[in-house]
Amino acid sequence: MARGARALLFLLLAVPPASLPAQSGDASQSGDASRLVAALLGDTPMIGDLQALTDGIGGRPTGSTANQRAFDWALARFRDAGVAARKEPFRMPALWLERSARATVRGAGVAFGARVAALPFSTATPARGLTAPLVDAGKGTEADYAALGARARGAFVLIETEELLDLDGLFREYTEAGHIERRAIAAGAAGLVYMSSRPGNTLARHNASPGWANRHPMMMMERDAAARALRLLRAGTPLTLTATLDIRSGPAYTAHNVIGEIRGSTRPDEVVVIGAHLDSWDLGTGALDNGANCAMVIDIARQIARLGLRPARTIRFALWNGEEQNFNGSWGYTLTHAAEMDRHVMASSYDIGTGRITGFFTGGRAEMKDVLDRALAPVAGLGPFTHLDVPIVGTDNYDFMMQGVPNLVANQESANYGPNYHARSDEFGRADLRQLRLNAAIAAAATWGFATLDLALPRHTAAQVDSMVRNTDLVGQMQSFNVYDDWVAGKRGLRR
């Protein structure tokens, strides 16, 4: 145990029982929560699990061999811990994996190779590459495309970006990308090239916003090479780009989530879900996104089993798959378990790396705050916690939220999450192992609270979900993650 964690443990155990929540009417439940928290702050296999998953298995995009290995590994880790677990199938709409990507920039008297990564959902190029003029499309604004005029037609448009330093920058990138790509397609571009926004010439994958419907080659180019190309273009040197994107694509197929389960003792039909997605992109090894939180979910199940604790409600420990292609595994779960959705008391997602948990997004249900305050009492020393009652799109709470199920997303200090997001640099060494341990204690307390406390959180009706969509900024968020059309079409979410 880290020195700081030991001090914290002392602090936590020093909290007198009288200050713990009494509303459950069951002091032993509070005692159980404290024992669970203490166990998670101790020397558990969690860090070793994260290392096995990242260094040992590596990047694990859905549909890859590494992905299958990761899910077999996770199933075994639950079972080794004495936790019942199963693989549950769901449908992936299509296959997309990059085999390789390379590019060369050429002009009069100049030629240089540029490292590139295909954007997920990019089309492949012909095997000998696609050569087209490379043109300066500025920041990809309406004015930039207007200035380019007919020169965008049949060309690779090169988009200049700001360096991405934090989570705000990441949200900005998500918001702008859809517009930038739509304008490129409208201008008749042959393809699109983003200057990588990541420091240190790091490459990353940012989903092409048309999703599976995309019909263009799109890629990210290392920052310095893109900057050199832009300087040459701005100095009047015409350039071409030859890009060779080798993509493995295919039709719909079956993939699997892994669901661990600890049955409830007195209310076994009521279900609390704690989840994190086990799939990742593959430039790095998916430590921050989202191996760390998967190791945490497994460890929480392991410690509950090891201590022999019995929650009142059933807890499901979900390791989702297909998340990076817009939350397919958790969507599939809500379809498979449709008959049980009324009895899902709460579904939580952890997906912002290893920064400190500062509170939770309560998904447009203010009444969740009271339960959280009671649940988090055993870890008050790790706070303060501030909950934000806004609906949030971007991870596996989405389909639960659209099904009217109370849902939480852990809000975390952004720490180093933004610059390493989907990037070559998302590696074990970037995880804050001490904070991950503290987060495990917080997540365990939240989960245990919802699984044991007296609460009344009925599922929302279709009308209530519809009202949330109309009265918040959800539509824009849904469009950014390419899930709005499916909602309108009635494919995802409660039907109105």
Site residues for Zn ion per CB under 5 A:
289-290, 351
Nearer to Zn ion, 173 or 289 (CB): 289
Query: What span, in angstroms and rounded, lies between the C-alpha atoms of 176 and 178?
Result: 6
Pick the closer one to Zn ion by CB: 98 or 289.
289
Least separation in angstroms between residue 420's CB and Zn ion is 12
Q: Which is nearer to Zn ion, 290 or 326 (CB)?
A: 290
CB atoms within 10 A of CB 89: 11
Angstrom distances, CA of residue 298 to CA of 223, 436, 442, 474: 37, 13, 14, 31
**Minimum CB separation from Zn ion for residue 323, in Å?**
6
Q: How far is the CB of 409 from Zn ion (least distance, A)?
A: 11
Of 102 and 174, the one with the shorter C-beta distance to Zn ion is: 174
Query: Minimum distance between the CB of residue 277 and Zn ion, rounded to whole angstroms?
Result: 6
Q: Mapping DSSP to helix (H, G, I), strand (E, B) and coil, where does residue 431 land?
A: coil
Q: Which is nearer to Zn ion, 181 or 351 (CB)?
A: 351
The torsion angle over the Cα atoms of residues 440, 281, 88 and 336, rounded to 10 degrees, is 100
Which is nearer to Zn ion, 32 or 351 (by Cβ)?
A: 351
Name the amino acid, one letter, at 467: S
Q: SS3 for 171?
A: helix
In sequence order, the 6+-apart residues with CB closer than 8 A to the CB of 160 are 136, 138, 139, 195, 226, 230
Q: How far from each other are the two terminal CA atoms of the chain, in whole angstroms?
A: 51
Give the CA angle between residues 34, 38, 42 to the nearest 5°: 170
DSSP 205-217: ----TTGGG--S-
Give the shortest CB-394-to-Zn ion separation in angstroms. 8
Nearest approach, Cβ of 326 to Zn ion (angstroms)? 11
The contacts of residue 263 (CB under 8 Å, 6+ apart) are 84, 314
CA distances from 435 to 8, 14, 38, 52, 165 (A): 12, 21, 15, 19, 20
Rounded to a whole number of angstroms, the minimum distance from the CB of residue 281 to Zn ion is 9
Between 290 and 362, CB nearer to Zn ion: 290
Centre a 10 Å sphere on the Cβ of residue 341 and count the other Cβ atoms it contains: 19
Decide whether 404 or 419 has the Cβ nearer to Zn ion: 419
Euclidean distance between CA atoms 482 and 139, whole angstroms:
22
Q: Among residues 311, 316, 313, which one has the least CA distance to residue 269? A: 313
Q: How far is the CB of 329 from Zn ion (least distance, A)?
A: 12
- The nearer residue to Zn ion, 15 or 97, going by C-beta atoms, is 97
CB of 305 to Zn ion, least distance (A): 26
